[in-house]
A and B are shown apart, each in its own frame.
Chain A
Amino acid sequence: QKEVEQNSGPLSVPEGAIASLNCTYSDRVSQSFFWYRQYSGKSPELIMSIYSNGDKEDGRFTAQLNKASQYVSLLIRDSQPSDSATYLCAVNIKGRRSQGNLIFGKGTKLSVKP
């Protein structure tokens, strides 16, 4: 079973719409969850972190975590063409040999159409 799974997309939304990105993870003891944005040819950029069940909002971004369902999502409100990128979900897997490392999903490619 893959540790962190995402729909690879592409997810296409019109400008101004809400983009919803989803991620599931397999390790029930995971404590930390992150969303990274990666533009083509660039390195990943951390945009959101969430540690507790519920919602966490930062500007146009909202991260949602449901540990019982092992599910984390990212909502992007008022999507802009500049949001077009690949979004990587990352989970800190506790108990692994190298404490503190992250396991990444394969990413969802988002395209926001003007």
Chain B
Amino acid sequence: SAVISQKPSRDICQRGTSLTIQCQVDSQVTMMFWYRQQPGQSLTLIATANQGSEATYESGFVIDKFPISRPNLTFSTLTVSNMSPEDSSIYLCSVDSQPNSYGYTFGSGTRLTVV
């Protein structure tokens, strides 16, 4: 299955600033997914990133707050903009583990704390 490198692994940020999270995959993948896991909660899908087109956002998530780039088939970034303490969470990228299986491999996650 794919191997994903995600960075940074953690960060402490000031309110009002932005943080960009990067994910690099060791193979080409069509779709990359960005999830958020708030403390004590399960994973919530933020958006799906397709190469060559705009990301598809889930209900409750908007591009202005979470802009996503997908410049090629192995790389994607998620930016958390104008951060507030409510954005403190773990952010995870993921890809399909095998073609058409819909089971996912996850990056190691980014633990974000906004102060």
Are A and B part of the same complex?
Answer: yes
Tell me whether A49 and B92 are in contact in the complex, defined as CB-CB below 8 angstroms, given that A43-B106, A88-B43 are known contacts: no
B56: which of A34, A44, A97, A104 is its contact (CB, 8 Å)?
Answer: A97
Number of contacting residues on B, CB 8 A?
Answer: 24
Q: Find out whether the CB atom of A104 lies under 8 angstroms from the CB atom of B103.
A: no
Q: Find out whether the CB atom of B101 lies under 8 angstroms from the CB atom of A32.
A: yes
Q: Find out whether the CB atom of A102 lies under 8 angstroms from the CB atom of B58.
A: no
Let me know if B97 is at the binding interface, CB within 8 A: yes
Interface residues of A in 83-114 (CB under 8 A from B): 88, 90, 92, 97-98, 100-107
Q: Find out whether the CB atom of A100 lies under 8 angstroms from the CB atom of B96.
A: yes
Report how far A101 CA is from B106 CA in the complex, Å. 13
Q: Find out whether the CB atom of B42 lies under 8 angstroms from the CB atom of A100.
A: no
Tell me whether A102 and B107 are in contact in the complex, defined as CB-CB below 8 angstroms, given that A44-B43, A88-B42 are known contacts: no
Report how far A34 CA is from B102 CA in the complex, Å. 9
Q: Find out whether the CB atom of A98 lies under 8 angstroms from the CB atom of B104.
A: no
Report how far A46 CA is from B92 CA in the complex, Å. 14
Q: Find out whether the CB atom of A43 lies under 8 angstroms from the CB atom of B48.
A: no
Tell me whether A34 and B103 are in contact in the complex, defined as CB-CB below 8 angstroms, given that A105-B42, A106-B42 are known contacts: yes
Report how far A97 CA is from B50 CA in the complex, Å. 13
Tell me whether A102 and B104 are in contact in the complex, defined as CB-CB below 8 angstroms, given that A46-B97, A88-B43, A107-B42 are known contacts: yes
Chain A: interface size category: 20 to 34
Report how far A102 CA is from B35 CA in the complex, Å. 10
Interface residues of B in 12-26 (CB under 8 A from A): none
Tell me whether A46 and B43 are in contact in the complex, defined as CB-CB below 8 angstroms, given that A98-B56, A100-B31, A100-B96 are known contacts: no
CB distance from A108 to the nearest CB of B (A): 11
- What residue in chain B is nearest A88 (Cβ atoms)? B42
Let me know if B63 is at the binding interface, CB within 8 A: no
Let me know if B66 is at the binding interface, CB within 8 A: no
Q: Find out whether the CB atom of B109 lies under 8 angstroms from the CB atom of A43.
A: yes
Q: Spell out A's residues near B (CB within 8 Å).
A: 32, 34, 42-46, 49, 88, 90, 92, 97-98, 100-107
